Amino acid sequence: MAEHKIEEKTAQHLEWLSEALDSGVKSRVRSLINSLSASEIADLLESLPLPKRQAVWELVEPSLEGSVLVEVNDEVRAGLIRGSLPQELVTAVGDLDLDDLADILNDLPDAVISEVLQSMDRQNRERLSHVLSYPDDCAGGLMDPNVVTIRPDVSLDVVLRYLRLYGNLPKVLDRLFVVDRSGQFLGALT
């Protein structure tokens, strides 16, 4: 039932998008496409013929491009990547969560991968490397490496204040990992 509603919604978006593309008014297409979620944009791109797909992709806001690349199927992703400049791709994937980046990293050109890795701090490079070390069909490859670590000598009041101030927390935060100065796991707060 829910899948039918999603298909119906995609068909409606596709109809609106085709009308907007045919009218030649790019601002209308841009407005329509960027009002959708990344998964809805991905569904539309997968439904469009190649020439229209590339035209629409060029109108997607840079802040959405990385998430859309994660959502589209492999074939469409490869085409979108081929049609994008390296610097556009670096910008698009630069803000992705590590688990999402790991999903598409091997699809990116080597120069883009190199630049993305250089832009990351050591800890995130290590986390990404750890996620990539698991096979695709393994639970370890699906885990979210975005965790919050704390030192054992930091009070809970300080941790709570920090968490309130820090705006870029993982989507799911159900525990804090206590680590020593070398990063060794000591325990967890749940």
Whole-prediction pTM: 0.67
Nearest alpha-carbon partner for 149 in 109, 183, 121, 119: 183
Nearest alpha-carbon partner for 40 in 51, 48, 52: 48
Cα separation values, 178 from 140, 161, 187, Å: 21, 17, 5
Q: Mean pLDDT highest for which of 80-84, 174-178, 179-183?
A: 80-84
| 102 CA to centre of own chain | 9
Residue ranges covered by each domain of the chain: 2-143, 147-190
Tell me the pLDDT tens digit for each residue of 23-75: 777 787 888 889 999 999 999 899 888 888 998 899 999 999 999 999 999 99
Instruction: Report the alpha-carbon distance of residue 76 to residue 46 in Å, rounded.
Output: 6
Tell me the pLDDT tens digit for each residue of 120-151: 888 888 888 877 776 666 545 545 556 678 88
Cα separation values, 22 from 34, 49, 133, 190, Å: 18, 14, 46, 54
Q: What fold characterizes domain 2-143?
A: MgtE N-terminal fold (1.25.60)
Instruction: Report the alpha-carbon distance of residue 148 to residue 178 in Å, rounded.
Output: 9
Q: Mean pLDDT highest for which of 31-45, 66-80, 84-98, 148-162?
A: 66-80
Strand order of the β-sheet with 176-179 is 149-150, 176-179, 185-189
Instruction: Report the alpha-carbon distance of residue 99 to residue 141 in Å, rounded.
Output: 8
| pLDDT given at position 115 | 92
| pLDDT given at position 142 | 47
Q: Is 108 left (phi over 0), alpha (psi -120 to 50) or beta?
A: beta
Token pair 């919604």 is found at 9
| pLDDT given at position 31 | 86
Instruction: Report the alpha-carbon distance of residue 80 to residue 71 in Å, rounded.
Output: 12
| pLDDT given at position 144 | 55
Instruction: Report the alpha-carbon distance of residue 5 to residue 65 in Å, rounded.
Output: 25
